Amino acid sequence: MAEAEEWERQKRGRRRRRRRGRRESDGSDPVEVLGEEVMGLVMELLDARSVARCTAVSRAWFGVAADNRLWAPKCAELMVGKAHIPRLTMICTASKLSTYSMAIMDGKRNRITKEDLCDHAWEYRFTIAAPEYWRNLDPSWKRTGPPMRRYFHHDGYHSADPHDAVRGGHECEYTIITSFVGDGRIRDHYVRINRWPPMKVSRKEDWSWELSNHLYRYNSIPDAEKEGCTGPLFPVW
């Protein structure tokens, strides 16, 4: 009985090997049938997620799907309409596929860094919950001018434009406060200026930042054309 089972097992194995051999020899792999150049043209028609999945099919598919010539236009398309371009996309040794992946992950990042704060100018507005006195000092509320602007500096200093009625010459410093739960996930993450109410950090679809509480909010001003890009150079997920 055992010998019959072993013989049947070997027979099935030989049958599988013959089928595998026929597939490999009859050119059923599209890369072999069409060639890498034509297969690359086909993949150009796919969305980025589908092309990324192609890299896991086989070594031959990876060679086509991970080609920088295929991913360069997809990277350019990804950056269209974005408020900020991550600095890590400037890493010259990274492949275009890696650059695309890192940019996607960075665009979803809600953990703000000092580089993110300092690289951008910020619009500052009061919310409707703020006292009327303060709202009346906000030109965007009175529609007499553009929103006020605020600036973060690497030494921890926080500044405003000259003659800002709200700022009133106060000395201001900012702090980024992050706390974690036991498994390493972020529990609380906010930015605080002096002892004023802390601001929750959030991210928009165009990769811009917002710092907000019930009284006021900061919005990063788009600067996609900024030379050298913005944000941290290394991944911060």
pLDDT tens digits for range 98-146: 999 999 999 999 999 999 999 999 999 999 999 999 999 999 998 999 9
Q: Is residue 112 part of a domain?
A: yes
Whether 117 and 203 map to the same domain: the answer is yes
The pLDDT assigned to 184 comes to 72
What is the average pLDDT across 207-221?
97
The answer to whether residues 97 and 157 belong to one domain is yes
| Domain endpoint, select from 66, 101, 122 | 66
Nearest to 32 by CA among 71, 58, 66: 58
Task: Give the domain extent around 60.
Answer: 19-66
In a domain, 236, yes or no: yes
Rounded to whole angstroms, how far apart are CA atoms 41 and 29?
A: 16
What mean pLDDT value characterizes the chain? 88
Mean per-residue pLDDT, 46-54: 91
Tell me, yes or no, whether 47 and 128 share the same domain.
no
Assess if residue 4 is contained within a domain: no
Dihedral angle, C-alpha 214, 200, 150, 104, nearest 10 °: -140
Average pLDDT over every residue of 190-216:
96
State whether 205 and 116 are in the same domain: yes
Residue 11 lies in a domain: no
> Whole-angstrom Cα distance, residue 153 to residue 158?
6
48 and 117 assigned to the same domain: no
Query: Same domain for 108 and 193?
Result: yes
Domain shared by 102 and 174, yes or no = yes
Give the mean pLDDT of 197-223. 97
What is the value of pTM for the model shown?
A: 0.81
pLDDT digits (tens, 9 = 90+) for 65-77: 899 999 999 999 9
Determine, yes or no, domain membership for 35.
yes
Q: Phi and psi for 157 in degrees, rounded to 5?
A: -85, 145
Do 237 and 145 lie in one domain? The reply is yes
Please state the domain count of the chain.
2
pLDDT at 16 over 70: no
Would 7 be classed as within a structural domain? no
For residue 25, pLDDT over 50 is answered with no
In angstroms, how far is CA 6 from the centroid of its own chain? Answer: 55
Which 3-state string (H, E, C) describes the chain?
Answer: CHHHHHHHHHHHHHHHHHHHHHHHHCCCCHHHHHCHHHHHHHHHCCCHHHHHHHCCCCHHHHHHHCCHHHHHHHHHHHHCCCCCCEHHHHCCCCCHHHHHHHHHHHHCCCCCCHHHHHHCEEEEEECCCCCHHHHHCCHHHHCCCCCEEEEECCCCEEEECCCCCCCCCCCCEEEEEEEECCCCCEEEEEEEECCCCCEEEEECCCCCEEEECCCEEEEECCCCCCCCCECCCCCCC
Same domain for 86 and 51: no
72 falls within a domain = no
Asked, for residue 3, whether it belongs to a domain, the answer is no
